[in-house]
Amino acid sequence: MEDILSISQELSRGLFVTVSILIASSLLAYFMGFISGLLRLSKYTLVRKLTGFYIEVFRGTSLIVQLFWLYYAIPMLFGIPLGSNWIIGVIAIGLNYGAYLSEVVRGSVEAVDNGQTEAAIALNMSSYQKMRYIILPQAIRMMLPEFGNYTIQMLKGTALVSLISLNDILYYGNILRSSNLSQAPLIYLVILIFYFVLALPLIFLTRKAEDISKKGVAN
Amino acid sequence: MSYWSFERFFEAWPYILKGLHITVGVTISAFLFALVFGLVWTFLRRIPERHINWIVTWVMEFIRSTPPLVQLFFIYYAWPEIPVVGVTLSPFVSAVVGFGIHFSTYIGEIYRSGIESVENGQWEASTALNFSLLDKWRLIILPQAFPPTIPMLGNYFIIMFKEVPIASTIGLTGILHMANSFGSEHFNLIEALTIVGIIFLVLSYPSARLIKKLEVKLNTRFDKNQVIDPIE
């Protein structure tokens, strides 16, 4: 019991990095998801193709490869070391899951009944008004459960930032393990519980989102 | 400061490709493991006892919502230290078991959705026709439950393929590991990592398109069936 307490105390030093990366990267991912999801529906072929390229590249390769790639490429591209690994972690996770979320956004917008679009056109709404007042309010409800699921995926993804030497929960756990090998089972179990406790609110929010998305939808 | 070199880029290809069969091998083995282990979850979830159901649901939720990287570390570093059952596992076996268990929770849910998609009338009909338990599953339920799950299973195969490079952290000599060792020998990782990205893209993008096509094909087949159905 005392061991668990001392391990938890050590691990909680990494809590801030894990949570801050999760929050920042999920905000970036939601933003990218909406922008690229809507651009994917643009009437301009070039815009659609370019967004498609971003989406397929980030969905087609692994997060860990993207993380390492950006870790080496960003300093190279800008000619200077960007300094903060924290930003690189956020960019990698945000862009990766942004690509996945864009498909969710696109799918939900396309799933809104065609009659709604026709009605908006019949009421002489501009295409902005149509999106803002008719399509999105209905589409966003459909997106909520998937956004919740992907946020849980992002939490799992943040564990990778320990590999680019960020001091997150797993980083402190690995240090503990290297100094005390026989305690490894307990250490990793406590790490898993840490991540699970962080995921719990997201799991409940996702379930709530599922209820919301089902409510009042004619089938 | 590092810079891009095409010479190194072409030199790295054969070196990195040497790890491809390991990456693909782990993916296939872990997928098979998950296919079998997923059945276990499906059976456990079907036990009609509230408390067992609750426990199984949360164990699955626990495995699913914690990072596979930590689970790999647990299996590779912590498992040998556990008294009595602990044995040292090779990186290959650790990766297969780790990813296999992690993704079995998803696969189990896919099986469940497939079984639940079979209409109530089919279950009732097979009972009414006095089918044995085995025949009911073999002849009525599974032939209808399985085909719709194929595209979903295919998607998870691709997802697993993209997760496998994580196992380079426990020393699995797949393509990412080869890229890292090539990069550290030549003091520059950017070309090697780009190659790994290209390999993943080239393998996963066409497979994803193929599965999409399969999905459309299966959907139309099932829709047609519904249209011809005389009772409708």
Compute the distance between CA of residue A124 and CA of residue B86 in angstroms, rounded to an integer. Answer: 70
Cβ <8 Å between B70 and A188: yes
Copy the structure tokens of residue B42. Answer: 């499906």
Q: How far does B135 lie from chain A, in Å, by closest CA?
A: 34
Q: Which of B78, B165, B208 lies closest to A62 in CB terms?
A: B165
Q: How far is CA B152 from CA B15, B111, B201, B214, in A?
A: 34, 10, 20, 10
Q: How far does A170 lie from chain B, in Å, by closest CA?
A: 7
| B218 CB burial (10 A radius; 0-12, 13-18, 19+) | middle
Alpha helices in B117-187 (DSSP H): 120-128, 133-135, 142-145, 150-163, 175-185
Query: Helix or strand or coil: residue A84?
Result: coil
Mutate which: A7, A58, A65, vs B, most B CBs within 10 A: A65
Compute the distance between CA of residue B215 and CA of residue B213 in angstroms, rounded to an integer. Answer: 5
Phi, psi at residue B153, to the nearest 5°? -65, -40
Compute the distance between CA of residue A102 and CA of residue A55 in angstroms, rounded to an integer. Answer: 8
Render each residue's pLDDT in chain B as its tens digit; 232 residues: 467 788 888 888 999 999 999 999 999 999 999 999 999 999 999 899 999 999 999 999 999 999 999 999 999 999 988 888 888 899 999 999 999 999 999 999 999 999 998 989 999 999 999 999 899 999 999 989 988 899 999 999 999 999 999 999 999 999 999 998 998 888 888 888 999 999 999 999 999 899 989 888 887 766 545 544 444 3
Q: Which of B61, B67, B189 lies closest to A156 in CB terms?
A: B67
Measured between CB atoms, does B205 come within 8 Å of chain A? yes
Please report the ipTM that was assigned to this predicted complex.
0.91
The residue range of the domain holding B153 is 6-228
First-to-last alpha carbon distance for chain A, in angstroms, is 52
Q: How far is CA B29 from CA B23, B34, B80, B91, B229, in A?
A: 10, 9, 22, 13, 40
Domain at B18, CATH number: 1.10.3720.10
Contact A192, B66 (CB under 8 A): yes
Cβ <8 Å between B71 and A177: no
Copy the structure tokens of residue A131. Answer: 């999106």
In a domain, B1, yes or no: no
Mutate which: A21, A72, A165, A197, vs B, most B CBs within 10 A: A72
Contact A149, A206 (CB under 8 A): yes
Contact A184, B51 (CB under 8 A): no
Compute the distance between CA of residue B6 and CA of residue A218 in angstroms, rounded to an integer. Answer: 57
Q: How far is CA A153 from CA B65, B110, B126, B145, in A?
A: 7, 18, 40, 27
Copy the structure tokens of residue B213. Answer: 């096509």
Place domain A2-214 in its CATH homologous superfamily. MetI-like (1.10.3720.10)
* Higher-scoring residue by pLDDT: A3, A64: A64
Dump pLDDT digits (tens) for A176-217. 999 888 889 999 999 999 999 999 999 999 999 998 888 766
Dump pLDDT digits (tens) for A70-91. 988 877 777 666 668 899 999 9
Residue A79's CB is within 10 A of a number of other CB atoms, namely 7
| Contacts (Cβ under 8 Å, ≥6 apart) of B122 | B140, B141, B144
Measured between CB atoms, does A192 come within 8 Å of chain B? yes
| B204 CB burial (10 A radius; 0-12, 13-18, 19+) | buried
| Number of helices and strands in chain B (H, E) | 11, 0
What are the domain boundaries of chain A?
Answer: 2-214
Contact B145, B123 (CB under 8 A): no
Cβ <8 Å between A185 and B82: yes
In a domain, B123, yes or no: yes
Contact B213, B50 (CB under 8 A): no
In a domain, B148, yes or no: yes
Dump pLDDT digits (tens) for B159-212. 999 999 999 999 999 999 999 899 888 888 888 899 999 999 999 999 989 998
Dump pLDDT digits (tens) for A4-49. 888 998 899 999 999 999 999 999 999 999 999 999 999 899 999 9
